[in-house]
Each structure stands twice: as C-alpha cells, then as structure tokens.
Structure 1
Amino acid sequence: MNTELEYVAVPAADLERIRCNDHDDFGNPIVPLTSGGGEPLRCCLTIAPAGDRIALVSHRPMTAGGPYAEVGPVFVHLSDCGGPASDSYPADFRDRRSVLRPYDASGQMLDGVLAAAGTAEVELKQLFDDPAVDTVQVRNVIAGCWNFTVRRQA
C-alpha cells in the first residue's frame, strides 16, 4: 500500500486556547521558561535551540477516548511559532530512536515498535501497510512522552 502520511503536532487551535487561557486544558498554569537547548517542541516539531521562550504543558494527543487516551507533558513555544515548517517527517526527530504505537480508529493500540535511529520513516510505512492502523504515535524512548502523531493524508 503506497501511503502518503501526515505528521501532526499539537493543533494550533489547542495552542491558541491554552495561551489565551494562561493554563492548559487540565488546569496547569503556563509557566514561561527559557530553553536550555534540546527540548522537543510539539508545536513546530523541532528541537529548541538555547534561549527560546517555551512552556511545558499537558496535552492529550488522542481525540478518541478510551484507556489509551493518555495526558502527558509537552514543550511548546510560549508564543505562536507558525507550526511545523514541513509536511514530511520532522527533520529534528529523524536520527532519534522512537517508540511507534499504532492505533485503530476506535483508539485501541494494535502493536508497538522500537525504531532505531534513522529507521522510523521505514517502520511507519510498514505499520501503515496494515489497513487497521488509523494513527501512529511517535514517542520518546526514555520518558515515553508523545512527540507527534502520524496518520494517512485525507
């Protein structure tokens, strides 16, 4: 199956609401931070350089409910950064190890793959060969935090 994929960051509307409310959707206040460099930003799918103004907020990446609809911490820019600059696999995440979690349309996890550095794009395409796979969450290997979601382009 030849599949074009879409790489999904924290939605701009969610970020706008969080920034306007001065707290995330779970009541945690926005605390401005200055990046030390290296924080994975889920608003633009880049790695923060030292000195960027960022915040750590809670986010639930899965829109379907159920037991896998986890809430976790994500770094975002403190102000609007315009979102991801590309519609391809995020370059700053390419050479990192990743956990890939495929889910069906009802939000049930189907499998899990540990992708070695530089292999996640190939692993994703293989996961999407299964028509039951609706989305795949790309996650941090150490902390398990959500980095971004991948889905078939509409």
Structure 2
Amino acid sequence: MIAAKKQLIDHRQGAATTAIFFRAIPPAHAHAIRSGAPDSNGQPPERIIAMDNFPCRACLGQIQRGEPMLLLSYRPFRHLQPYAETGPIFIHAEPCAPLEAAQVLPTMLDSTDYIVRGYDAGDRIVYGTGAVTPTAKIVVRSQELLESPDIAYLHVRSARNNCFQCRIDRA
C-alpha cells in the first residue's frame, strides 16, 4: 500500500491531524519464519505453548493461553546500523491475518502504557520523540509526532522491556 498523507478534522479542537496506520511485521517475514527461515539472530524460532496471553506481532491480536506460538528475535529495520535494535517477539505458530488498523488501537496493545518513538527515513531515532505514553493517548501522540516532516515512522515498544510491538505510519 502506498502511504499517503491524509488530514482528518478533529471537531473537538478544530485542528487538522495526521491519519495514522498501525502495521504488523511484514506478512512475508512471518510466513518465512513459519516456513523455517532463521530469525534476526540466524536461529530457528522456538515453538512453545503460550502460558498466558501474548501480543502477536504478525496480526496485532492476542495469542491466547494454550495456543502454540513462536518466539524469535526480530529487527524491524532494513539495514544493520547502530540504531537497529533486535529483540524478542511472539507470533502465532499458525498463519494469522495481519491487521492493518487506521486510527484504532490494535487489541494486542493492552498494557497501561507504551513507548512511542519516532524514526527518520534512515531508520535513525529522532531524539526527543521517545516517551512513555498512556495507551489511551497513543493515537493522539502518534498524530502529533507524524506532523513533523523529520519523522518517517514510529515504533510502539514495551514501556517495561523496550520490545517492539508494532509500527505506525501515516495513512
């Protein structure tokens, strides 16, 4: 999908805001991992049974307790560089349809807060953009950040462990 900047009118304040889109990991990457490709550390994913509910980065939903899941390392960046963090993620062991949600929080975001951080077109952190954000304010915070031309996209990350949750782009 070609990302195009759209404007929505916020009738409560009369201000234009940037429409946003929540993105899961690329479906081709999830398919490759499920088909035996190595993770970002060059290792096979671990297949385990969920002992609790876990956020699936492939569909942005929840892996339910008792379901098989894959634990793998993931680097959500195109190239290796100093800001290209790699960390653990979970995905459903079986194929799941990726949710690409505009303006609506994915169900996997069920914690009280998350880190929302901006990156430039070179996949570098835009300093001053990262902040622990209450979950209910992620959409508004993301719209504000993406109004800056210096920010190409955002990450939503765990406020406790810094794990990648999903990406946010302009819709």
TM over 0.5: yes
1:89-138 deviations in whole A, cap 9, x for unaligned? 21331653000110111122112111023111111111112121111000
The equivalent of 1:96 in structure 2 is 112
Task: Give matches, 1:141-152, under 5 Å.
Answer: 141-152=159-170
Stretch deviating more after TM superposition (118-127 or 136-145): 118-127
2: CA distance between counterparts of 1:25 and 1:12? 15
The equivalent of 2:35 in structure 1 is 20
Inter-CA distance 133–22: structure 2 relative to 1 (3 Å threshold): closer
Inter-CA distance 72–42: structure 2 relative to 1 (3 Å threshold): same
1:3-54 deviations in whole A, cap 9, x for unaligned? 2212111111011111212532432222221112221111111222211110
Stretch deviating more after TM superposition (17-26 or 50-59): 17-26
The equivalent of 2:26 in structure 1 is 11
Q: Deviation at 1:86?
A: 4.0
Q: Deviation at 1:64?
A: 4.8
Q: Deviation at 1:85?
A: 6.6
Inter-CA distance 57–122: structure 2 relative to 1 (3 Å threshold): same
The equivalent of 1:109 in structure 2 is 125
Matched, 1:41 2:56: yes
2: CA distance between counterparts of 1:78 and 1:95? 23
Runs of 4+ in 1 over 4 A off after TM superposition: none
Q: Deviation at 1:80?
A: 0.6
Stretch deviating more after TM superposition (2-11 or 142-151): 2-11
User: Which of residues 101, 114, 138 is equivalent to 1:120?
Assistant: 138
Contact 2:20 2:139 in 1 (8 A): no
User: Which of residues 133, 147, 150 is equivalent to 2:151?
Assistant: 133
Identical counterparts, % of pairs: 26
Inter-CA distance 27–17: structure 2 relative to 1 (3 Å threshold): same
TM normalised by structure 2 equals: 0.81
Contact 1:95 1:118 in 2 (8 A): no
Contact 1:5 1:150 in 2 (8 A): yes
TM normalised by structure 1 equals: 0.89
Largest Rg, 1 or 2: 2
